[in-house]
Chains A and B, each alone.
Chain A
């Protein structure tokens, strides 16, 4: 699968990682190398094979719907870059 520069721009947007124009080609080149390696999988016959997402065959464990944890809002928010009145501050979203 051949990657183009516009593919890299698209991926960078989806991943929300800014990539400088000057760096795009180097990123594209390294990613192409990795895709070349994982493309080996295409040749494998997996007809009828059930995908394995997980090492265990268990379902998500359930518990009673009771409040058991203390309110640690202040402690957890103490590491935030910007807060006001218990809310995380972020820049405006420009529509």
Chain B
């Protein structure tokens, strides 16, 4: 019997060989939630009976030799993705009791691929945050140090994978909300190209910036999830229609000692200036040395306008949020205030009661930048600077195939440390938001730890639709290093012996 902690690839092999059943893996995941979630608070909803029913169905397929690479694999979904018949709260009082009437596209696709949904994960309210502290259901704790944040907004999904409760989970990334939690919890997270994964059923925060994507322990696992999550969906008007790819194909090419020969890695000088934690940068530089030893060439590039990415983002995202969250008015679904004088008062009290402070703040900022007299100076201006940033990246792709740097300027910070100062919190996104503005794919992989043993993430960004190349580079790095195998002290352990020795390092 396999120890929980295997990758998707390893668990799938065990399932196919019938060394373990999906029901056993699902029970282990549910037991792990019971044991660890009082500490982590990574989950908002679990549905054990439905999960076990799905696991039994997966086992019946596996017994007949049917099913695919994800059949029988327990998974968790961020609670911003609609899951039919299950509560979908966006970690907000506004949707605290809301039961989704349909599956999000990526949820449905992963169900049809045979994954077993064990629960919905905790997050920053309506995906607005970088720490998973603003949830109506309480903050998520980092499995590496429960006094620290796991990052956000997809902190629950990241914590669940880091703690080995599940081998895979979904997140969404609007300003870094997959990559930054992956970095702070020592796992792999991918934001695909905008439009590659359908946003149907993803409760909208900022429609031009939202991206669903996978979390797992490895790039290879992320590729398997992406294979299922990607694809044209006519129900999403921004879904790209292009031929399907197998994102794991390139990873299986045998390449010898220098698998990254010919790869040019660009280092933007703007990502390597002062301001990041020196211990973070030390790990990044060691990772770059490792990539060089695998055959890659490292070149300097410049993204002169990328320092404006945070202000651009904090104009555009709140503006789009103010529009998207206007639907929460107590009329058709969600929270409705109990007392009100008239319709307008019902709206105002419903929204005052239903939304937390950060959500209200962003709606107000968005309302401001779109309002009469300010639209040109802020919103239009931000869209122009967005174009300048996109043009910087387009120029950089002439000199390199991938851009590298830290995912986050720091490792995991203490819960409560930044929650009083919104601007301080927003600066966590300094390296991640550009890829949301341009739409280009980006991932974070673990590449080291700081002096306290807290994980450091390396971010790799590529041109549109270069996921295959990014995953390949990450995969080759992971084949030559062990950072992605490290498990935190708060971690799911099997009660039976493992065939694969695992280290819990601290």
Contact = CB atoms under 8 A, between A and B. Distances in A.
Chain A residues touching B, range: 35 or more
Given A31-B365, A34-B361, A38-B314, A92 B342 contact: yes
A80 interface: yes
A81 interface: yes
B251 interface: no
Contacts of A77: 332
A67 interface: no
A55 B195 contact: yes
B204 to A, nearest CB: 14
Interface in A45-59: 46, 49-56, 58
A74 B284 CA distance: 54
B364 A88 contact: no
A50 B384 contact: yes
Given A33-B423, A41-B385, A61-B237, A15 B367 contact: yes
Contacts of A78: 101
B330 A19 contact: no
Interface secondary structure of A, over-half rule: loop
A56 B360 contact: no
B175 to A, nearest CB: 14
Contact of A79 (B99, B346, B385, B464): B99
Contacts of A8: 364
Contacts of A33: 421-423
B333 interface: yes
Contact of B329 (A16, A34, A38, A94): A16
B385 A46 contact: yes
A15 B351 contact: yes
Contacts of B374: 1
Interface of A: 1, 7-8, 11-12, 14-19, 27, 30-31, 33-42, 44, 46, 49-56, 58, 60-61, 63, 72, 75-82, 88, 90-94
Given A41-B382, A42-B381, 9 more contacts: A37-B314, A38-B365, A44-B388, A46-B385, A55-B208, A55-B437, A55-B464, A56-B238, A75-B101
Interface of B: 98-99, 101, 193-195, 208, 234, 237-238, 240-241, 305, 308, 310-312, 314-315, 322, 326, 329-334, 336, 340-349, 351-352, 355, 360-361, 363-365, 367-369, 371, 374, 377-378, 380-388, 390, 421-423, 426, 437-439, 464
